[in-house]
Amino acid sequence: MTPASVVAPAEDPKRLADFEARIARGETIEPKDWMPERYRRQLIRMMSQHAHSEVVGMLPEGNWITRAPSLRRKMSLMAKVQDEAGHGLYIYCGTETLGVDRHDLILQLLAGTAKYSSIFNYPTISWADMGAIGWLVDGAAIVNQTMLAKASYGPYARAMVRICKEENFHKRQGFEIMTVLSGGTPEQHAMAQDSLNRWWWPSLMMFGPHDADSPNSGELSRWGIKRKSNDELRQRFVNMTVAQAKAINLTIPDEGMRFNEATANWEFSAINWDDFWRVVKGDGPCNRERLAARRKAHDDGAWVREAAAAHAAKQTESTEAAA
């Protein structure tokens, strides 16, 4: 979804005022309710980016399923990757309640015109990365998605409630991998620390640009889609994660980090936004590889879609014949 597609005609002021009053009263907006065109387009943009992120997010971890160090690890990693496919499916279904066809959204992803979370454009080079991703990436997703579970659009909010339950399992399995590695041999501890060093900053970037540089934020919060700002959610994540890193004897790679007694926040150093924008614009370490993998999966799955369509056509035919 390009930013241009979010542009929408002016709305009838009376209907818009009624709609905003409903949001202010904390009512949930449902698919058949009237909504401003921009609200609908912003939701499609946001939900489709989210669905794409779930599906592309399967790739860095799928890379390690065959190399998991034990059957138990392999089973939980497979279950996690499978959950992410389910999350994608669930949210794509949610976008269809807004009048779009998920096939069109998937074509935008494959064409490289849709965005997904930039975190999945980094490589997974050690087993510890499975731990760091679960702990940090799913951990950051929980912070974001717990807020989205209170979003004003009913189908999206309800999807988040279920998804967050599964994300909790993902975070725990990741944290447990990190705990075991950190308490293992010196080599294993070093592997866990190296992984934290590589994933820490990209995880902070997952919350998006600073509020002042986030063009959609004002409207999203006025319409109850976003309940907290990017910076507030990022701070919440940092405050939680510092204590967790200490508990497992790992060091957050930020020498400038300080606890501010007055605000009770862990203050952190400046984020390298140049790196963020470079990755968002398609030049991260794995952008091309991720899209190539998705295109291949789509092409390889053509026979499944054709078979499903043929089956559906037969079913309709026999139902009509019986009628």
Q: Which residues of this chain interact with Fe ion, rule CB under 5 A?
A: 54, 84, 87, 138, 167, 170
Q: Indicate the residue type of 145.
A: Q
Which H/E stretch holds residue 266? strand 265-267
Are the beta carbons of 61 and 81 closer than 8 angstroms? yes
CA-wise closest residue to 229 among 290, 143, 161, 292: 143
Least CB distance to Fe ion at residue 84 (A):
5
Least CB distance to Fe ion at residue 213 (A):
26
Least CB distance to Fe ion at residue 156 (A):
14
Which H/E stretch holds residue 24? helix 13-24
Hey, how many other C-beta atoms are within 10 angstroms of the C-beta on 256? 8
**What's the Cα-to-Cα distance from 292 to each of 126, 289, 297, rounded to whole Å?**
22, 5, 9
Q: In terms of CB distance, is 160 or 248 closer to Fe ion?
A: 160
Q: In terms of CB distance, is 35 or 54 closer to Fe ion?
A: 54
**3-state secondary structure (DSSP) of residue 267:** strand
Are the beta carbons of 48 and 114 closer than 8 angstroms? yes
Q: Which residue has tokens 């590889």? A: 289
Least CB distance to Fe ion at residue 77 (A):
11
Q: In terms of CB distance, is 36 or 174 closer to Fe ion?
A: 174
Q: In terms of CB distance, is 19 or 199 closer to Fe ion?
A: 199
In the chain, beta strands by DSSP E: 258-260, 265-267
Least CB distance to Fe ion at residue 246 (A):
24
Q: In terms of CB distance, is 84 or 129 closer to Fe ion?
A: 84
Least CB distance to Fe ion at residue 142 (A):
8
CA-wise closest residue to 175 among 78, 106, 76: 76
Q: In terms of CB distance, is 35 or 233 closer to Fe ion?
A: 233
Are the beta carbons of 146 and 157 closer than 8 angstroms? no
